[in-house]
Structure formats: structure tokens, C-alpha cells
Copies of this chain bind each other. A is one copy, B any other.
Amino acid sequence: MSDYRVRGFKASVTAAGIKKRGGLDLALIFSDREASAAGVFTGNKVKAAPVLVSQENLRRGRARAIVANSGNANACTGDAGLLSARYTVEAVAKELGISTEEVLVASTGVIGAPLNTDVIGKALPELVKGLSPEAVPRVVEAIMTTDSFPKLSLFEGEAGGKPYKVVGMAKGAGMIMPDMATMLCFIITDIALDPTRLQEALVWGVERTFNRISVDGDMSTNDTVFVLANGACGNGGLSPEEFQRFKTGLTEVMDELSTMVVRDGEGATKLVRIAIKGAATSADALTAARTIANSALVKTAFYGSDPNWGRIMAALGRSGVRMRGDAVSIWVDDVKIVEKGMGRGAEPEAEAAARMKGKEFSVTVDLHEGEFEDHITTCDLTHEYVTINADYRT
């Protein structure tokens, strides 16, 4: 068992009654001292109220608390939704005895329904009373919607001779797609770091992790990654090497979490890494990977363990990237199934099909157009995905 406690941080969760079916739906993370704060948000033009409020509060680069609810996204809720998010932030600040601007807020769940702030207000005193260092890993339980398992990740480093931790908590499942994937991810660390470099490290890591996954090509209105660094480990400044190590560790945490998000994609049974090589431009490499990763025909073929490379070729052909049909090579894991745009026959396909029966495999495409490469981690499209999403609100 990993120890997810982080010096200076406490957490608390409760069943406030926001989720129709009951269960944990409200979480609080609290730093006993001021912390540097950074955030990355959805690129969707329709932004949920908590995203707008958190963006405001993050301007100072400082925060001490994150309050998050599941069961209601507080998105497309107009001015009333903004008031609800602000009320939540104010009520939390008051209960904790800190300033409103030190509270970040996030929501996930159904879009377009008014958020019941009465139940949140009523739950807050107990929630604050329940704050404890041990409850950190329980935060993920309170922000789950259609997730089937909690997503936690831990990195341990050392700076200025002091050991520090980076603990990440995430929820995902559906509506997962760049330019940001996890609907919610909260990261806490006891390293000391100024807000500017914290934001820099976060953006660097998100670009390589959460922005490289896709479940269904849809992008949420609520996607949020927060990181709080409270300095409780007692390091002084960071050497360039130490900063680099922190950035890498932070990215490792987000890599583990974002991979978990795909593995737990709604209805997903397989994790597939789509890698593009030999693209003419870096944009082409990413576009090609995303087009394949989001093709319904490719994803159902993954589900059926069918190395149906014709669908991959068709997806490449419509992606708009520079390519020649007769130059493409395709592998499943290390099994080459396509060379110069043509199938290599029944034997490698049978071997590829066998690999695809596993829970994880890769598809690599070499376009032979240039030197650029990129990748997207995705999952299959299954009966269960349809079941979950045809029934979500009922």
C-alpha cells in the first residue's frame, strides 16, 4: 500500500446528497499553509461555472483549498450556476477561515441541471470537521461518476536534501479528449516552488499526458487539472536539476493517471497506444494519431481483436495529413502487418490478432514522409460504452 499522505495537507469526503443515487459526492482538500497553485482547463468554448470561478481565483497563483463535487457539472447553468460556484467557494472559505480567493472549485456530472447549494452548505461543517491527512486517497471516491476504479498516483523525490511527495488524484471515464482529457485531476505536493514554475511544469506535463489521450473524441466543459505545492517538505530553492526532476515526476504522476483514465474509458476493454512516425510535420503526426484514435470503425475493430488495417488506412486518408497510400507501414506491437500500403498476408495478421486479444497493445504507423512523431493513448469502442451513454441520465 502506498502512503498517500502529504505533509501539510488534509482531505475530507462526504455524501452530501448531490448524486441522485446517493454515495460520496463532495470532497475537500486543504493545505494548512498557503500554497503555490497552478491549473489547466478545458479548451471547450462552453466552460462550466466552476472553471470560470477557478480561473479567476488562480490569477494570484496561490490557493489553500480545493472543493469538488460529483453528480452535477454545474455547466450550462447560466448566471445561477456562477452564483452557485461562488457560493460554494465562499462557504468553504468561511468554514475554513481563509479568504475566498484561496479556494478552487471543480464539478463533474450531468450538464445543465442546477447545482443544489443547500445540500453543499449543510454538508460543509461536517466535511471540514472530518479533514485528516489519511483521507487524501478518498478524494477520488467522491469525484467518481462512471469511473469503475479510483485513480491515484504517487511520486517521491528529494529537493535540497528533503524528501517530498507528489500525489495525484483523477477521475475520467467519458467525454475524454484533448485538448485536455481527465475531467478532474488534483495534484498535491509538499515541495516549495513559485507559482510561475509550477504552472510551467504543469503545462509541460499536461501536454505530454492528458493531451495525448482520447476515449471518445468528446471534450468536456469541465476538464480541470489543479496542482497545489505547499512547501511543507522544507526545501529551499530548487536547483535546475531538482526542478527538472520535479517536472518529470509530476509528469510521471499525470502519465499514470491519464493512462488509468483511458484504461477506465467508458466500456473500454483494451488500452491501445497509437504511435505515428515519419510524419511530414509535428501537426501531421498528432492529427494522424488522433484521427485513428477517434475512428469509430477502428475502435470497434480493436474491440473485435481484428487487425483491420484497411480502416486505419482509410482514417489516415481522410485525416488531411500528407501521406501516400503506397508508402505506409503499420505494426501491431512488433508485428508488421502493412508494408508499402499493402497487407503482408494472413500469417502476420493472425499474429497481430493474437496480440490484440490482450488488454494492451500498440499500433504504430510509419508514414515515411518526414521525421516527426507523436502518439495518442486510446481504448476500444464497445457495447458497454453504448449502454453507459444511452442510459446515463435515466
Tell me, rounded to whole Å, the shortest Cβ–Cβ distance linking A218 to chain B.
5
Count residues of chain A with CB under 8 A from any CB of chain B: 63
With a CB–CB cut-off of 8 A, which chain B residues contact A317?
44-47, 219, 221
Contact (A44, B393) CB under 8 Å given A342-B76, A386-B300, A386-B386? no
With a CB–CB cut-off of 8 A, which chain B residues contact A303?
386, 390
CB-based contact A300/B111 at 8 Å: no
The 0/1 profile, CB within 8 Å of B marked 1, for residues 327-362 of chain A is 000000000001011110000000000000000000
With a CB–CB cut-off of 8 A, which chain B residues contact A310?
73, 75-76, 110-112, 221
Which of B46, B78, B220 is A340 in contact with, Cβ under 8 Å?
A: B78
The 0/1 profile, CB within 8 Å of B marked 1, for residues 62-92 of chain A is 0000000000010111100000000000000
CB-based contact B392/A381 at 8 Å: no
CB-based contact A76/B313 at 8 Å: yes
Considering the complex, give the chain B residue whose CB is closest to the CB of A175: B297
Contact (A392, B306) CB under 8 Å given A221-B314, A313-B46, A317-B46? yes
With a CB–CB cut-off of 8 A, which chain B residues contact A111?
308-311, 313-314
CB-based contact B390/A301 at 8 Å: yes
CB-based contact A390/B45 at 8 Å: no
Which of B73, B77, B219, B300 is A389 in contact with, Cβ under 8 Å?
A: B300
Which of B177, B300, B338 is A390 in contact with, Cβ under 8 Å?
A: B300
Tell me, rounded to whole Å, the shortest Cβ–Cβ distance linking A217 to chain B.
6
* A294-B324 Cα distance, complex, nearest whole Å: 26
The 0/1 profile, CB within 8 Å of B marked 1, for residues 133-146 of chain A is 00000000000000
Tell me, rounded to whole Å, the shortest Cβ–Cβ distance linking A356 to chain B.
11
With a CB–CB cut-off of 8 A, which chain B residues contact A301?
389-390, 392
